[in-house]
A = this chain, B = another copy of it.
C-alpha cells in the first residue's frame, strides 16, 4: 500500500508552533474545501451566496486571520508598499506620508515605512531589505541615490516613484517640485522688494540637498540679476525652530550688511521671527525673513512669514496614485509630474 521508497516514518506536525486557525480549519468547520474558503474571502462573487455566508460565519466564529505570508508566497503578490524617507522629524515628510497612507490604504495596501536619516548607505540597505517583501511597487524620497540603489530597484522590475523634487533623471517615475526654481522665485521676490544682500540659512546641506538646490537657485538668480549679493550660512545640525532662533542674531552679527534671510524651511524661519520679536529686531525693517513650505504656523507669527507653499500632501497622493496605476496596469499619461509651488508674500519681507 505504501510507496515503495518511503522508509521515513510520518512525523508529528513538525514544529510545535502555530496554534493559529488556518484556512483548512475553517474549511473543515464549514464543511467545504479549502479553496472555496479562499475564494469566499478573496473573490466573493465567484462563490454562491449560501456557501459564502456559511464560510463568513465560520471565519467569524473561529476568529480566523489569513496568513498574509502564505498568501503572498503562493500568489507572488503582496499588498505592502515600502516607503523610504530621510526622516520623520521633519513635518514635511510626515505630511507626504499621510497623503501616501490615505491613498494606498483606500486601495487595500499597507505601508512599510523606512527612514534613512539622510544616509544613502542606509537607504540602499533599506531598499534591499524592503524588496525582500516582494512589494508590488516602491515609493522613495528624492532623486539622489547610490548607484547600487538604482540598480537594485531597476533589476527588481517593480514600479518606483521618486517623490519630493522634480527632475529629469529618475529611476522610473517622479513627482515633485523644482527646488532650484523655488529658490529663484524667492530670490526674485526679495530683489523685487529691494533687498540687496540676501543670506541663506540651512543645516546639513550636503544631506539635505533639496535645501542646497533652493540655495543654488537663489544664488544663480541673484548673480544673473546683478546689483545684489548672496551669502550662505550653514549650521551643522538641527532643523527646528531652535536653529533659526539662534541663527538670527549670529548671522546679523557676522554679516551686518545682510538685509534679508531666506531660511531652508519654515520651522527655522519661524524660530527667527520669534527671536526677532523677543529681542525687538525689526522685521522686515532691519532684516526680512522668508521660509519654505507654507506650514500653517507661518501665517500666525507676527509679522506673518513670507514663504513658498509646497503641496506636500498632494505629492504623497500623486505619488501613490501613480504607483497604484502602474501596479494595476493602467497606462500613465506621464511618468513625471511637476506639482509646482506657490509664493506667498506676507509681511515679513
Chain A interface (Cβ < 8 Å from any Cβ of B): 3, 15, 17-20, 63, 65-70, 72-73, 76, 78, 80, 88-89, 91, 94, 97-98, 101, 110-115, 128-134, 151-152, 155-157, 240-242, 245, 270-271, 274-275, 277-278, 296-297, 300-302
Residues of B within 8 A of A20 (CB): 134, 156
**Complex contact A17–B241 (CB within 8 A):** no
Copies of this chain, count: 2
**Complex contact A296–B115 (CB within 8 A):** no
**Complex contact B98–A88 (CB within 8 A):** yes
A180 to chain B, nearest CB (A): 29
Chain B residue at smallest Cβ distance from A301: B274
**Complex contact B240–A296 (CB within 8 A):** yes
**Complex contact B274–A65 (CB within 8 A):** no
Provide the bound-state CA to CA distance between A3 and B113, in Å.
49
- The verdict on A88 contacting B78 (CB below 8 Å), with A69-B134, A131-B65, A275-B300 known, is no
Residues of B within 8 A of A242 (CB): 296, 300
**Complex contact B296–A157 (CB within 8 A):** no
**Complex contact A69–B241 (CB within 8 A):** no
A8 to chain B, nearest CB (A): 16
- The verdict on A110 contacting B88 (CB below 8 Å), with A300-B245, A300-B271 known, is no
